[in-house]
Structure 1
Amino acid sequence: MRRADTLTVQELNDLRLGTLKTAVDDWETMHGRLERLADGGDGQVNAADLEKKANAADWEGVNATVSRQFVTKTAKQFGDAAAEAKSVLDLLRDTHTDFTKHKSDLRSAIDDLAKRNIYVNGNGKVSASVPSGAAAGDANDIHQPTDEELDVAQRRITRILWEATETDRIVARALRSLAKNKYDFTEQGPNSVKEADREQGEADAEYWRKEIAKGHVDGWSQDKLDRFNGMLKEQRDNPGFTELFATGLGADGTLQFWRDLADPGQGHTPDGERAKLLGEVQKNLSVSLANASHSH
């Protein structure tokens, strides 16, 4: 489920990285055990040997098809399980590293801003917090934050929280994808947050390119248009999305898509809430195309 808002200062500060580190350690142990079951080690029976023996055996009748296929497929699942565990381990390890940095960045920013009499509340909003002359000792030495300083401070805090939210969103989606099959494993998944981000961007670009290719975008429901806009907002700075989406639609296709969406004609020009939402779509689509133009 996509988060509607960014993480708050309180949520990021309260994040228990020790629990996450424990999960990393547990998955490291799990991955090691699964690898030994899949490929061998310590002289124990393993799936790779089982598959070799099954393929080399002289099967007859039903066993030549059903039994052989069952054994070889089951043996392969051990390798897939080990590969999937490696992906989970890599993602969790990367997440721990990233969130350690996010928390450190936030703490440094709050401490730095406090020295300039700028307070950051639990929701990430900044404000001037000037002590009284009596408390400070000398009113002439009290720094009064300017509006420009407050704007810069707000952008700094907002950026840190946005980056933390992106890590949270990307990893959550990647882990759900790895666990989507109840009775099967998905082999090797992404081995880093960066790789997961690019893969998700490419998947979104391909999905929406196909939706647009179906035509009749002027008939998209408000909910579908909102989902498209939310995806654009999340992926507009992701090269995995912007490059594939821009080249997939092409220049003419992009212009036609926007014309059909925003100005279908025949007296049906969008207004009200839909017009407002289209304004957001236009902004996010423009940023996506601009970022795509910076790539090869």
Structure 2
Amino acid sequence: MDLDALRFGNFSKLGEAVTDWEQMTKNLATLKEDAERNLKGKADKANWSGVNATVTREFVDKTAAEFADAHTQADSITKILSDTRGELISYRTQLNNAIKRASDENMTVADTGDGTFAVMGNTRPDWASDPSGNTGATDQKKVEAYRNEIQSILTKATESDNSAAKVLRLLVDQAKYGFNDASYADRDGAAKAVATAEKLAQMAKKPDDMSLDDIATFNRMMERYHDDPLFAERFATRLGSKGALQFWTEMAYAHAGAKGSELKTMKDLQSNLSLTLATASFSDSDAMQGWKKDLLAETTTNFRAAKSPNPVGALGYQVISSLMHDGQYDTEFLDDYRKDLFKADKGAGDSNTDAR
């Protein structure tokens, strides 16, 4: 964030947006309650029977759930926007205070364009020296101190602004139609979930570097976040479908024959991976749609650990099935996987069979 952009930032528009979203959240809370109590409640109590009753109840249940998800999403957006506005106003205050203190100590702070700024010490001309002979020269260490302080404020403000934009886009992208049930109390919570996902995905790309302690830490974070939609989607897409399968292949090979605590760690890893990918499967983001498509393309790929002397490993669908050990996956994705699995099985049994 540029110095002048924050220094002279007018966040009134953002404040108006927060107010609008707060009102929207209140209205949706009323609609959610009405849908739950009147729409769904009456449908549950109705003395219906037959196919139409089943279809109607399912429709009513889904409609009521959508109102609930709409309220949850609006509430998360409101809190993220409000939190971000409060942070940016705080950083603006800190920046202006720093500039004022620098000015009081005979320094000038100026925006120099393209995201840069300068802190300059002012020196009085000789004729303006005070009787003691002081020319007003500024200590260079003070200049550096103010430069570092101001840069730190701008860096934090930039991170606040960027992370808010990132999580809001991810939040909205989760559902192509309707709303999702991802709930966050503030920007920090959502941003931390995404940052943790990116960190764990990076770790999973280098499985040989992971000690048992690293895997235990990996598990703790996975266990904490595996039901978080933003975390799950970000982890899956950052690691990639092939990366996820290769990671589990490497882990299974490296810890084959594990016993005791090591075996428990690996069981926990399998479960946490399964639960995370299950949560991710419900995302409708473009990145996740690509992930699902790429995963299905790997069903007949031979996966083997890099250090394995055996050229034959496990087929993609065997690894995928192992990672579906726990969790509830998106039914549409499961149906696509089922079709690919049957096709692969038929192909293996009879290369002349045209699986349909």
Q: TM-score, normalised by structure 2?
A: 0.54
- Larger relative contact order (Cα-Cα within 8 Å, sequence gap ≥ 6): 1
Give yes or no for contact 1:59–1:68 (8 Å, CA) kept in 2.
no
Q: State the alpha-carbon separation in 1 of the partners of residues 54 and 18 from structure 2.
A: 41
Q: State the alpha-carbon separation in 2 of the partners of residues 77 and 15 from structure 1.
A: 37
1:171 pairs with one of 164, 170, 174 = 164
Deviation at 1:155, TM superposition (A): 0.7
Residue of structure 1 equivalent to 2:137: 144
Task: Describe the SS at the equivalent of 1:190.
Answer: coil
Residues 88-109 of structure 1: CA deviation (Å, up to 9, x unaligned)? 1111111121111100011011
1:8 pairs with one of 2, 17, 24 = 2
Residue identity in the other structure for 2:105: R
Residue identity in the other structure for 1:162: T
1:39 aligns with 2:27: no
Residue identity in the other structure for 1:204: E
Q: How does 1:73-222 map to 2 (within 5 A)?
A: 73-122=62-111, 123-134=116-127, 140-180=133-173, 181-213=175-207
1:248 pairs with one of 207, 218, 222 = 218
Q: RMSD in angstroms over aligned alpha carbons?
A: 2.9
Deviation at 1:10, TM superposition (A): 1.3
Q: TM-score, normalised by structure 1?
A: 0.64
Q: State the alpha-carbon separation in 1 of the partners of residues 129 and 160 from structure 2.
A: 40
Q: State the alpha-carbon separation in 2 of the partners of residues 188 and 156 from structure 1.
A: 36
Deviation at 1:85, TM superposition (A): 0.9
Task: Describe the SS at the equivalent of 1:125.
Answer: strand
Deviation at 1:57, TM superposition (A): 2.9
Task: Describe the SS at the equivalent of 1:16.
Answer: coil
Larger Rg: 2
Q: State the alpha-carbon separation in 2 of the partners of residues 77 and 111 from structure 1.
A: 51
Residue of structure 2 equivalent to 1:25: 19
Give yes or no for contact 2:73–2:180 (8 Å, CA) kept in 1.
yes
Query: Aligned in 2, Cα 1:185/1:155: closer, same or farther, shift over 3 Å?
Result: same
Q: State the alpha-carbon separation in 2 of the partners of residues 246 and 197 from structure 1.
A: 23
Residues 145-184 of structure 1: CA deviation (Å, up to 9, x unaligned)? 2222222111101100011011112211121122112312
Task: Describe the SS at the equivalent of 1:120.
Answer: strand
Q: State the alpha-carbon separation in 2 of the partners of residues 48 and 133 from structure 1.
A: 82
Q: State the alpha-carbon separation in 1 of the partners of residues 3 and 146 from structure 2.
A: 14
Give yes or no for contact 1:39–1:47 (8 Å, CA) kept in 2.
yes
Q: State the alpha-carbon separation in 2 of the partners of residues 138 and 55 from structure 1.
A: 91
**4+ residue stretches of structure 1 with deviation over 4 A?**
133-139, 243-246
Give yes or no for contact 2:98–2:150 (8 Å, CA) kept in 1.
yes
Deviation at 1:198, TM superposition (A): 1.9
Query: Aligned in 2, Cα 1:62/1:136: closer, same or farther, shift over 3 Å?
Result: farther
Structure 2 unaligned blocks of 5 or more: 220-246, 248-356
Residue of structure 2 equivalent to 1:290: none
1:67 pairs with one of 41, 53, 56 = 56
Structure 1 unaligned blocks of 5 or more: 1-6, 41-45, 217-242, 254-296
Deviation at 1:245, TM superposition (A): 8.6
Aligned pairs, how many? Answer: 213
Q: State the alpha-carbon separation in 1 of the partners of residues 215 and 128 from structure 2.
A: 57
Residue identity in the other structure for 2:122: S
Q: State the alpha-carbon separation in 2 of the partners of residues 30 and 244 from structure 1.
A: 44
* % identical aligned pairs: 28
Give yes or no for contact 1:209–1:245 (8 Å, CA) kept in 2.
no
Residue identity in the other structure for 2:77: V
Task: Describe the SS at the equivalent of 2:14.
Answer: helix
Task: Describe the SS at the equivalent of 2:153.
Answer: helix
Residues 54-86 of structure 1: CA deviation (Å, up to 9, x unaligned)? 233344343244332221011111111111111
Query: Aligned in 2, Cα 1:158/1:49: closer, same or farther, shift over 3 Å?
Result: same
Query: Aligned in 2, Cα 1:51/1:207: closer, same or farther, shift over 3 Å?
Result: farther
